């Protein structure tokens, strides 16, 4: 901390001037003095001679002593009152500058995270920060150099070359606007500390860094990492923080949206739970939560939010037509608008489309029966094919693809299936007697370009004498419905043979849903990109036979009463993976789809019609596309066109709402001086909290009063 | 007449019954007592021998000397006389002061002391006299060795009004005129008078050959000035008012008291006067004992209260 130079008097401002009311306490010693004299008793005294002589001796000294003690006591109360009023000593940087003949670089670092869009009295925090930066630059000595940076998720150079030209600096600052990204202050500060301008001492004798922001959000929470970042900067420069936050602001935002399933069936009510969080504020606030579909309100609820609490609002939505629905959750406007909207896509289907690929005739019929006992009333459209004809199918036409004891698929088919999974769909694989271990591993294990692999080893077929099922405490979402129902028969599934599989247990993509008593996995779920692969290590029914003894089946699980509900739960998990493309603001975009027709144009278009060109690569009927990160939330449409066809995909872009938490960091915990009061930080002076010196003065005065009183004969 | 027990505490009397007030000076007395008389006569104490002359009383022949010398010699004795103890008690208004929570005022203490001393003196068949004074002698009880004097003293003290100021020089001068025979004079006062007046009064008595004992009686608060809160003090005699911060003033006040005492001590030392300073909350018997002990000791003792 820079110490104020005593001979450079500038205004001593008081942050809490109302505390000066305690200065009235300066009257207390006088009142005590007057009260004491007024309540004197009168006594008749004989030794007046002695008294007169004594008073003659002391009359002058006594009066002086009394005055001295009275003045010191009044001073104690006055100084204490001033220290309670939080004095700050303002020194203009120009004054400080005159004390040294050094070259100084000023680094202005503006917080441009989305929380800076918070409006107070119709002025955003970012506008106030720009104003503060402008005044700060104006007040600097004319020959001091300035650079300007912005920070949100990363550090951005605005004016990276030091310049003393005020007009250039101010013009650049004027053109700035906040981003829709959250803040990552620690990494930005670390990046700044490593910036050549800050790191190098060759160019400038001193570097002053002025961080102007709202210091809101978890990113500013002081912890070991943030302290390290601050100390790293302060080793090389002077660090000052200027806050533009208004402590009375509050914010609500959509914290979470939950639905029974991202893929809905027509004419079937679906429940959407919207969790709304309120941060800050002093009183409960009622806000309106609305759901819009294609800009039309299809549901609204009013919710009362207590300060710093969250509430969940439920909606029941039903669609009569299939298709991709663009749904928006909208909250009533508050001080920060950007996080009041949440965009998501919902795929409404007439039925779920499920494809069964089987290499043995009717081997998947039990699966199909379990899935759709009454096909006409079922929510599933079921199609069957085998591995040879699989290539004719369009995976994108389906929601789930079952591979039931499939002997072999071409590498191209496997690639298509991987893409299908990685785009947010599910492939369910039942292993059986027809599985070729080496082929399976070769096809599935290794990643293929951007497509994830299924790194699982088939060790060999196991046929132990006795197999008991271990449901692993029913923790898997597939088995959770069977918890508390031990007589369901799940643990007695009649299984006699299975493929023993190995995989890296440290790989967090894998989850073992069900195992055998000997710990061999029976049901495994593996994340593949945005989708899933669910692997059953045994066959789907007794149709699979032992290779050595065709009379012996691998299992008879279709005979178990738990079989249909187990398959029903499995399909729920399988389709509960959103196929819709979702990205966050500033997240790089990309994806792939099948199209054998040569594409000629690809753009990404916002709802307001703003376009951005896409980059894509088309090879072997697979189109891999990418685009620059988008800066605004909302719905977008990917449009690819060829000579006579178009391919369109909807996108939902949302902000990463970690910055929606407007808890203000406690500046006292920081190692650097932080000024967190909005009014004061509107100025550009450099401030020092000096109340400590006043308290020290109170202590010194108390000591002096005690010593003098003792010396004067008070005899404490 | 009320021989008030406040004046004569039986316990004090019991404590003092064996004590005798003696004078170390040759005093004039009319009755054979225990004090030296300037006149030779028959008394208890042997003085010298002289040769027998026809007609002398043969009862006083010292036969042991005759046995040794074969000559007749008569014993001659010192003529011990009784003495008169004068009790001079200051009755100025300042003597009425009694400090907070003190049992006796200064005058009451002096009165108790005087009555007890009178009893003691009368017990040893000496004469006692008393005078109260302020600016002049206000009352006088002439010397007598009769018990009736004690009663008179008590009665006089009990009806004494404490008014006016003190003038020791004029008062003691008056007493000196009255006290024709040399004796002991105990002056019970708070000494709130000019030093010159005190010295002048004592001087007058000394010239008359009296043995003077100056007994200064002060209240504890007058000696220690241990008030804590600011207060107003109104002079008893002068009526003047003073606003006082006693905590601030205490040190200076004690310096003044000490200086005054030192002055008196120095004067008394140099003028063969016994000086005693008593606190009014002191035990009377102890005070009496101090005074008497002061006589028995070969050195002057200036015992302070």
Of the candidates B95, B190, B249, which has its C-beta nearest A58's C-beta?
B249
Q: Are residues B194 and B59 in the same domain?
A: no
Residue from B134, B216, B252, B255 to probe the interface with A (highest A Cβ count within 10 Å): B252
- Segment B137-164 mean pLDDT: 89
Q: Are residues A182 and A288 in the same domain?
A: no
For residue A563, the model assigns a pLDDT of 93
Q: Is residue A5 one of the residues assigned to a domain? A: no
Q: Are residues B197 and B71 in the same domain?
A: no
Q: Is residue B69 one of the residues assigned to a domain? A: yes
Contacting residues of A for B245, CB less than 8 Å apart? 62, 66
Cα–Cα dist A261/A345, whole Å: 11
The pair of structure tokens assigned to A523 is 């049901």
Query: CATH number for the domain including A268?
Result: 2.60.40.10
Cα–Cα dist A679/A697, whole Å: 28
The pair of structure tokens assigned to A160 is 């990276």
B56 shares contact with chain A (CB less than 8 Å): no
> In terms of residue numbers, what domain contains A600?
581-654
Contacting residues of A for B229, CB less than 8 Å apart? 36, 39-41
Nearest CA in chain A to B259: A50
Q: Are residues A171 and A216 in the same domain?
A: yes
What's the gap in Å between the CA of A696 and the closest CA on chain B? 29
Q: Does B248 contact A46 at a Cβ distance shorter than 8 Å?
A: no
Q: Which residues contact A237 (CB under 8 A, 6 or more apart)?
A: A107, A198, A206, A207, A208, A209
Q: Are residues A534 and A435 in the same domain?
A: yes
Contacting residues of A for B97, CB less than 8 Å apart? 44-47
A550 shares contact with chain B (CB less than 8 Å): no
Question: Distances from the Cα of A133 to the Cαs of A128, A237, B189, in angstroms?
Answer: 8, 18, 89
Q: Could you say which residues from 287 to 316 on chain A have a Cβ atom under 8 Å away from some Cβ of chain B? A: none
pLDDT in tens, B174-220: 999 888 778 899 999 999 999 999 999 999 999 988 999 999 999 99
For residue A713, the model assigns a pLDDT of 62
Distance of CA A69 to the CA centre of its chain: 60
For residue B300, the model assigns a pLDDT of 39
Q: Are residues B66 and B210 in the same domain?
A: no
Q: Are residues A389 and A342 in the same domain?
A: no
Torsion of CA B99, B103, B106, B112, to 10 degrees: 180
Contacting residues of A for B192, CB less than 8 Å apart? 46-49
For residue A219, the model assigns a pLDDT of 66
Q: Are residues A74 and A100 in the same domain?
A: no
Q: Could you say which residues from 249 to 268 on chain B have a Cβ atom under 8 Å away from some Cβ of chain A? A: 249-253, 255-257, 260
- Helices A27-38, A48-84: axis angle to 10 degrees equals 150
A711 shares contact with chain B (CB less than 8 Å): no
Q: Is residue A51 one of the residues assigned to a domain? A: yes
Q: Which residues contact A331 (CB under 8 A, 6 or more apart)?
A: A252, A253, A254, A276, A287, A288, A289, A290, A340, A341
Q: Is A377 exposed, middle or buried (0-12, 13-18, 19+ CB in 10 A)?
A: exposed
Q: Are residues A82 and A97 in the same domain?
A: no
> In terms of residue numbers, what domain contains B144?
10-28+83-296
Q: Are residues A264 and A241 in the same domain?
A: no
Residue from B231, B258, B264 to probe the interface with A (highest A Cβ count within 10 Å): B231
Nearest CA in chain B to A59: B249
B47 shares contact with chain A (CB less than 8 Å): no
Q: Are residues A74 and A114 in the same domain?
A: no
Contacting residues of A for B216, CB less than 8 Å apart? none
The pair of structure tokens assigned to B79 is 């003529």
Residue from B164, B198, B256 to probe the interface with A (highest A Cβ count within 10 Å): B256
Q: Is residue B134 one of the residues assigned to a domain? A: yes
Question: Distances from the Cα of A674 to the Cαs of A4, A16, A87, A215, B53, in angstroms?
Answer: 16, 17, 15, 10, 127
Q: Is residue B1 one of the residues assigned to a domain? A: no
B297 shares contact with chain A (CB less than 8 Å): no
Q: How far apart are the first and last CA of chain A?
A: 40
What's the gap in Å between the CA of B221 and the closest CA on chain A? 10
Q: Is residue B34 one of the residues assigned to a domain? A: no
Contacting residues of A for B244, CB less than 8 Å apart? 51, 55
Q: Does B232 contact A713 at a Cβ distance shorter than 8 Å?
A: no
Q: Are residues B63 and B87 in the same domain?
A: no
Contacting residues of B for A34, CB less than 8 Å apart? none
Domain boundary among A282, A315, A348: A348
Q: Is residue A65 one of the residues assigned to a domain? A: yes
Q: Is residue A1 one of the residues assigned to a domain? A: no
Cα–Cα dist A286/A313, whole Å: 13
For residue B254, the model assigns a pLDDT of 93
Q: Which residues of chain A have pLDDT under 50?
A: 1-10, 92-100, 579, 659-687, 715-716
Residue from A47, A708, A710 to probe the interface with B (highest B Cβ count within 10 Å): A47
Contacting residues of B for A36, CB less than 8 Å apart? 229-230
Contact A320, A347 (CB under 8 A): no
Q: Are residues A46 and A153 in the same domain?
A: no
Q: Are residues B62 and B159 in the same domain?
A: no
- Residue B39 binned pLDDT confidence (cut-offs 50, 70, 90): very low
Q: Does A713 contact B97 at a Cβ distance shorter than 8 Å?
A: no
Query: CATH number for the domain including B244?
Result: 3.40.50.410
Give the containing element (helix H, strand E) for B170: helix B168-178
**DSSP assignment of A632-673:** S-EEEEEEEE-SS-EEEEEEEEE--GGGG--PBP-GGGSSS-
Q: Does A51 contact B234 at a Cβ distance shorter than 8 Å?
A: no
Q: Are residues B120 and B145 in the same domain?
A: yes
Of the candidates B93, B192, B249, which has its C-beta nearest A55's C-beta?
B249
Q: Does A43 contact B219 at a Cβ distance shorter than 8 Å?
A: no
Q: Are residues B69 and B179 in the same domain?
A: no
Contacting residues of B for A44, CB less than 8 Å apart? 97, 233-236
For residue B46, the model assigns a pLDDT of 67
Cα–Cα dist A710/A571, whole Å: 90
Of the candidates A40, A48, A58, which has its C-beta nearest B231's C-beta?
A40
For residue A405, give the nearest of A430, A369, A442 by alpha carbon: A430
What is the domain count for chain A? 5
A38 shares contact with chain B (CB less than 8 Å): no
Q: Are residues B55 and B193 in the same domain?
A: no
Q: Are residues B93 and B215 in the same domain?
A: yes
Residue from B109, B240, B245 to probe the interface with A (highest A Cβ count within 10 Å): B245
Q: Is residue B97 one of the residues assigned to a domain? A: yes
What's the gap in Å between the CA of B219 and the closest CA on chain A? 9
The pair of structure tokens assigned to B182 is 């040399």
What is the domain count for chain B? 2
Q: Is residue B181 one of the residues assigned to a domain? A: yes
Cα–Cα dist A655/A633, whole Å: 6
Q: Does A40 contact B256 at a Cβ distance shorter than 8 Å?
A: no
Q: Are residues A156 and A232 in the same domain?
A: yes
pLDDT in tens, A650-678: 888 888 765 444 444 444 444 443 333 33
Tell me the HSE value of A324 on the side-chain side, using a 13 A CA sphere. 16
A40 shares contact with chain B (CB less than 8 Å): yes
Name beta bridge partners: A684: none
pLDDT above 80: residue B65: yes
Q: In the block, which residue shows the tokens 């898997």? A: A476
Strand, helix or coil for residue A380: strand
Q: Are residues A76 and A97 in the same domain?
A: no
10 Å Cβ neighbour count for B104?
Answer: 19
Q: Are residues B112 and B211 in the same domain?
A: yes
For residue A524, the model assigns a pLDDT of 94
Q: Does A62 contact B245 at a Cβ distance shorter than 8 Å?
A: yes
What's the gap in Å between the CA of A703 and the closest CA on chain B? 19
Of the candidates A37, A45, A49, which has its C-beta nearest B230's C-beta?
A37
Q: Could you say which residues from 207 to 246 on chain B have a Cβ atom under 8 Å away from some Cβ of chain A? A: 218-219, 222, 229-238, 240-245
- Helices A48-84, B246-270: axis angle to 10 degrees equals 150
Q: Are residues B68 and B178 in the same domain?
A: no
Residue from A46, A55, A61, A68 to probe the interface with B (highest B Cβ count within 10 Å): A46
Q: Are residues A203 and A315 in the same domain?
A: no
Contacting residues of B for A57, CB less than 8 Å apart? 252, 255-256
Contact A334, A251 (CB under 8 A): yes
Cα–Cα dist B204/B187, whole Å: 13
Of the candidates B93, B95, B247, which has its C-beta nearest A715's C-beta?
B247
Q: Are residues B149 and B288 in the same domain?
A: yes
A54 shares contact with chain B (CB less than 8 Å): yes
What's the gap in Å between the CA of B276 and the closest CA on chain A? 18
A715 shares contact with chain B (CB less than 8 Å): yes
């Amino acid at each position: 901390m820079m110490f104020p130079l005593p001979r450079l008097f500038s205004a001593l401002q008081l942050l809490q001037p109302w505390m000066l009311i305690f200065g009235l306490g300066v009257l207390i010693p006088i009142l005590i003095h007057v009260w004491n004299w007024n309540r004197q008793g009168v006594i008749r005294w004989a030794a007046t001679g002695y008294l007169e002589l004594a008073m003659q001796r002391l009359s002058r000294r006594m009066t002086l002593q009394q005055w001295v003690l009275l003045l010191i006591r009044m001073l104690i109360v006055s100084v204490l009152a001033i220290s309670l009023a939080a004095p700050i000593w303002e020194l203009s940087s120009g004054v400080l500058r005159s004390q040294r003949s050094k070259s100084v670089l000023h680094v202005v670092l503006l917080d441009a995270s989305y929380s800076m869009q918070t409006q107070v009295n119709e002025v955003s925090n970012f506008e106030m920060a720009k104003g503060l930066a402008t005044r700060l630059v104006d007040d600097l000595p004319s020959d001091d150099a300035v650079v300007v940076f912005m920070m949100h998720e990363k550090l951005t150079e605005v004016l990276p070359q030091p310049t003393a030209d005020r007009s250039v600096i101010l013009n650049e600052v004027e053109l700035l606007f906040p981003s829709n990204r959250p803040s990552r202050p620690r990494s930005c500060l670390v990046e700044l500390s490593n910036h050549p301008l800050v790191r190098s001492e060759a160019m400038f004798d001193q570097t002053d860094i002025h961080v102007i922001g709202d210091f809101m959000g978890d990113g500013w929470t002081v912890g070991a990492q943030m302290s390290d970042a601050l100390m790293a900067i302060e080793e090389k420069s002077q660090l000052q923080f200027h806050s533009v936050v208004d402590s009375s602001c509050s914010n609500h935002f959509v914290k979470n949206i939950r639905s029974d399933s991202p893929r809905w069936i027509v004419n079937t009510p679906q429940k959407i739970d919207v969790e709304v969080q309120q941060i800050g504020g002093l009183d409960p606030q009622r806000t309106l939560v609305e759901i819009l579909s294609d800009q039309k309100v299809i549901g609204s609820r009013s919710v009362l939010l207590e300060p710093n609490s969250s509430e969940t609002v439920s909606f029941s939505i039903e669609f009569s037509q299939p298709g991709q629905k663009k749904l928006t959750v909208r909250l009533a406007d508050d001080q920060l608008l950007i996080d009041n909207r949440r965009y998501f896509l919902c795929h409404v289907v007439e039925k779920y489309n499920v494809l069964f690929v089987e290499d043995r005739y009717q081997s998947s019929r039990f699966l199909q029966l379990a899935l759709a006992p009454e096909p006409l009333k079922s929510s599933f459209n079921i199609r069957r094919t085998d591995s040879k004809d699989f290539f004719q199918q369009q995976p994108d036409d389906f929601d789930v693809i079952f591979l039931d004891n499939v002997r072999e698929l071409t590498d191209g088919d496997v690639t298509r299936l991987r893409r299908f999974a990685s785009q947010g769909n599910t492939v369910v694989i039942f292993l059986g007697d027809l599985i070729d271990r080496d082929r399976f591993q070769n096809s599935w294990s290794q990643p293929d370009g951007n497509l994830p692999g299924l790194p699982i080893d088939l060790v060999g077929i196991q046929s132990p004498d006795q197999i008991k099922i271990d449901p692993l405490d029913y923790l898997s979402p597939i088995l959770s419905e069977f918890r508390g129902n031990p007589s369901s028969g799940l643990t007695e599934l009649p299984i006699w043979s299975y493929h023993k599989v190995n995989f890296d247990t440290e790989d967090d993509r894998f989850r073992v849903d069900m195992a055998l008593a000997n710990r061999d996995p029976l049901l495994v779920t593996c994340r593949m990109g945005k989708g899933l692969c669910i692997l059953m290590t045994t066959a789907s029914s007794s149709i699979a036979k032992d290779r050595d003894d065709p009379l012996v089946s691998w299992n008879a699980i279709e005979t178990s009463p738990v079989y249909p509900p187990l398959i029903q739960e499995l399909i729920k998990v399988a389709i509960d993976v959103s196929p819709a493309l979702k990205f966050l603001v500033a997240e790089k975009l990309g994806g792939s789809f099948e199209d054998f027709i040569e594409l000629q144009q690809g753009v990404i278009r916002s709802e307001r019609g703003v376009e951005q060109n896409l980059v894509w690569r088309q090879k072997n009927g697979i189109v891999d596309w990418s685009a620059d990160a988008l800066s605004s939330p909302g719905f977008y449409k990917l449009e690819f066109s060829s000579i006579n066809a178009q391919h369109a995909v909807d996108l939902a872009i949302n902000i990463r709402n970690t910055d929606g938490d407007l808890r203000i960091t406690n500046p006292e915990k920081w190692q650097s001086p932080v000024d967190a009061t909005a009014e004061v930080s509107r100025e550009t002076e450099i401030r020092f909290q000096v109340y400590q010196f006043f308290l020290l003065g109170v202590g010194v005065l108390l000591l002096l009063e005690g010593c003098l009183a003792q010396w004067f004969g008070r005899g404490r | 007449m009320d021989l008030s027990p406040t004046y004569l505490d039986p316990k004090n009397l019991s404590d003092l019954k064996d004590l005798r007030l003696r004078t170390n000076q040759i005093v004039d007395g009319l009755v054979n007592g225990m004090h030296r008389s300037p006149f030779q006569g028959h008394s208890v104490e042997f003085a010298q021998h002289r040769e027998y002359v026809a007609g002398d009383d043969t009862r006083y022949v010292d036969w042991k000397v005759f046995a040794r010398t074969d000559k007749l010699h008569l014993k001659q004795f010192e003529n011990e006389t009784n003495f008169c103890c004068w009790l001079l008690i200051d009755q100025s208004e300042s003597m009425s002061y009694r400090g907070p929570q003190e049992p006796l005022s200064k005058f009451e203490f002096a009165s108790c002391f005087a009555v007890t001393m009178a009893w003691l003196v009368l017990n040893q068949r000496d004469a006692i006299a008393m005078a109260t004074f302020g600016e002049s002698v206000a009352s006088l009880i002439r010397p007598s060795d009769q018990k009736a004097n004690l009663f008179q003293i008590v009665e006089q003290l009990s009806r004494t009004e404490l008014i006016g100021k003190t003038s020791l020089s004029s008062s003691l001068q008056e007493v000196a005129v009255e006290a024709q025979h040399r004796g002991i004079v105990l002056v019970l006062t708070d000494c709130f008078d000019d030093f010159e007046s005190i010295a002048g009064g004592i001087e007058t008595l000394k010239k008359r050959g009296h043995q003077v004992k100056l007994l200064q009686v002060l209240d504890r608060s007058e000696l220690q000035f241990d008030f804590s809160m600011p207060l107003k003090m109104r002079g008893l005699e002068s009526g003047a008012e003073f606003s006082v911060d006693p905590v601030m003033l205490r040190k200076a006040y004690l310096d003044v008291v000490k200086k005054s005492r030192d002055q008196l001590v120095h004067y008394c030392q140099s003028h063969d006067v016994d000086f005693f300073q008593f606190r009014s909350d002191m035990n009377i018997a102890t005070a009496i004992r101090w005074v008497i002990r002061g006589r028995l000791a070969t050195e002057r003792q200036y015992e302070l209260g």
